[in-house]
Structure 1
Amino acid sequence: MTKARAAQINVDATPYYHCISRCVRRSFLCGYDNEEGKNFEHRRAWIEERLLMLAQAFCIDVCAYAIMSNHYHVVLHINTNSANTLAPIDVAERWLTFHQGPVLIQRFVKGEVLSEAETERCLEIIDTWRERLCSISWFMRLLNQHIASEANREDQCTGHFWEGRFKSQALLDEKALAAAMAYVDLNPIRADMADSPESSDHTSVKARIEALHSDHTNAEGLLVFAGYPRKDMHDGIPFRLIDYLELVDWTGRQVRDDKRGQISSTLPPLLERLGIEPALWLKTASNIEVGTMVGSETSIKAALPLLQRQRASGLRLPDS
């Protein structure tokens, strides 16, 4: 039976989630359809652009993404601190980026003089929008609705483009976050669509590598790497970027069918810090989609009541 989103997404359990949307029609989301003789490669850019645009407006950060032939993956971070510090006018302007909005709110944004009752009503509406800016369900809805509309217009047809709901997995700790991000970034390599992370088009890892080559500190629209957890740590992914890129490169060399060989005795520093055995890491980084949550035994036990579940369904990683 399908579970309510409240039982799958709860920021008190974890702010990190791996989400997947799959195309319901036989026709391609992206790529080249040999049977129809049509090229849909340009749709990758549609998704990438819309994804990063939504991230700028929502208080939801993009940690990783990969856009495939008939589905896409994204690892998201719910940033409630950002939402709570936004002024009402900022919340309204962000929401109105993608919505018409009632006339009353438009007057509020323009700075027109409102009565006390009108102002109170505006603030009530804006408080609802503030909550939605932290909602992965709203984020994914605005992403998928837009792409479905564009694809249907291009295909000159109507009807469903996506499966009824996107799948979400709770990433309960650092190990789970690293595994999910690596799994997402390596999707094109696993699917034999690319030979290396830097050649994996429309992925976050390629965007990060290109940003480094351009002497930028971070790829535009993506959540920054904040380094190892510490007392004065700013918002960001709790790893060093260089360690993560090394981990992805190392993992990619192992999951390729033509490059399995013998696993190098020199492991990436991040894998050593997370305390995961190489064999378990490779299994996890190749099968992350199993179940609705990923984390250590301790993390899963702590998250079960918050996610309104009695039993865990997902991957268990070792406790530190």
Structure 2
Amino acid sequence: MPRPQRCEQFISSDVCVVHVTQRCVRRAWLAGVDPLSGRDYSYRKEWIRRRMEALASVFAIDVLTYAIMSNHLHLVLRSRPDVCAQWTDEDVAIRWLRVFPGKRLEEHLAEPNENDVKMLVRNKERIHQIRSRLSDISWFMRALSEPIARIANKQDECTGRFWEGRFKAQRIVDEAGLLACSMYVDLNPVRAAVASSPENAPHTSAYDRAKSKSGEKINSAAFDLKPVSTEEAVHEIRDKSLNDLRQKQAKKRNRPIDKRVSPDAWLSPLRLKPDKLASDAEVHTEGVRSSNRGFLNVDWETYWELLRWTARQSVETASTEIPRSLAKSLRKVGIDAPLWRDLVWNWPRYFGQTSCVGSPEAMKEHAETVGRRHHRGQALAAHCFC
């Protein structure tokens, strides 16, 4: 079966949930300890996390779960064109200029100012195009991958690819598939035996949420969405030497907001609000993420308990019985509780080669909408769902 086109998996005008995988070239350990040279590049995981946090503040993309490994990363993303439609043209312009400032004649003009925003707003055709891109998962991944590759190559004094190629995408079509995929992503370090439990697995969404529940605060990496005033820009140009301006603006170009936030503030809330309609965009107004909409019908305590129980079910210590309360939560979303552990721990066996994730019925329905008879893996995963 040929590899599906991006337009068959998601388009920027639809709200959709996608599991994204991006691997380092030749699966090299470019964000971990290189087994050949012994050099430790683990600090690059924080580069990637901070970049994702910054992009979550400007794109109409909800980051649901993530895990950053030594040679690849996982993201579960939800595009939100409904949120982007609520933004003014000025909002769209400053968000875009923060990520893609464009070419400037002088380095000191790199910081977007009010005049830059006004000029972009007057170009209605361009604003329409940008609005579409801000809710496009492909553009989000482009804005994430390119800067990381450039910085790493500069540090290593080399050229060429950092990432393997275009990212792999899997459309998630129902809540059962979303719950299983979220658990698989959060448990990646445990499955890879680089962490003993979710509590000891930094650079995952579950770790960030757990730290937030304990009251921890960190400096936000979200972009400052206020443009520099024209008067301030002119004043700096007049009163500073060009060399000083270049150094100062290089630091301010991607300046974050001056704010202490919870480690998971940039992530989508976990639980869906029962009193909210599906058509409600739930636009976030504090500048650290796009919306306040959750993505699962379980609370954090249930999710965390299920995550920890699943993490303990290694091949050697697999339990044959799942706690009754957790089994009930799984049955609510249509997952066969006795086979839950197998579904998460052996995820690549069931969904490693498919472009769609979900229950067999939901996968079949989605296949028909894109003109296919079925999705690969549809029959294999059938016995894991009720």
What is residue 141 of structure 1 aligned with on the other side?
142
1:237 is the counterpart of 2:242: no
Select the structure of larger CA radius of gyration.
Answer: 2
- Report the secondary structure of 1:169's partner residue: strand
SS at match of 1:57: coil
Q: Which blocks of at least 5 consecutive residues in structure 1 are unaligned? A: none
The 3-state SS of whatever aligns with 1:37 is: coil
For 1:148-163, list aligned pairs within 5 A: 148-163=149-164
Shift of 1:184: 0.2
* Matching of residues 88-107 of structure 1 within 5 Å: 88-101=89-102
- Are residues 154 and 119 of structure 1, via their aligned partners in 2, closer, same or farther at CA, if it must alter by over 3 Å? closer
Say if 2:264 is the partner of 1:219: yes
Unaligned runs of at least 5 residues, structure 2: 105-110, 218-261, 283-292
Cα 1:190–1:92 change in 2 (3 A) is same
**Is it true that 1:276 corresponds to 2:339 in the alignment?**
no
CA deviation digits over 1:30-69, x for unaligned, max 9? 1211320100110110111111111111000111111111
Percent same amino acid at aligned positions?
A: 35
**Structure 2 residue matching 1:262: 3-state secondary structure:** coil
Q: Does 1:294 align with 2:339?
A: no
Structure 1 residues 111, 309: CA separation in 2 closer, same or farther (over 3 Å shift)?
Answer: same
* Cα 1:294/1:11, change in 2 over 3 Å: farther
Please give the per-residue CA displacement for 1:231-264, whole angstroms capped at 9, x wherever unaligned: 557521133222211221121111x234314333
CA contact (8 A) 2:68 2:203 kept: yes
Aligned to 1:110: 115
In structure 2, what is the equivalent of residue 72 of structure 1? 73
Matched, 1:183 2:246: no
Q: Secondary structure at the match of 1:33?
A: coil
What TM-score does the superposition give when structure 1 sets the normalisation length?
0.88
Aligned residues: 313
Q: Please give the root-mean-square deviation of Cα atoms over the aligned residues, in Å.
A: 2.8
How far, CA to CA, are the matches of 2:274 and 2:329 in structure 1? Answer: 12
**Aligned 8 A contact 1:198 1:209 in 2:** yes
Letter of the aligned partner of 2:147 in structure 1? Answer: H
Deviation, 1:80, is 1.6
Shift of 1:3: 3.0
Report SS of the residue matched to 1:250.
helix
Q: Please show how residues 23-42 of structure 1 align to structure 2 within 5 Å.
A: 23-25=24-26, 27-42=28-43
What is the Cα deviation at residue 319 of structure 1? 6.7
Q: What residue number does 2:60 align with?
A: 59
Q: Secondary structure at the match of 2:66?
A: strand
CA contact (8 A) 2:170 2:357 kept: yes
Q: After alignment, is 242-251 or 60-69 more displaced?
A: 242-251
- Preserved CA contact (<8 Å) 1:189 1:196: yes
Separation in 1, partners of 2:124, 2:194: 49
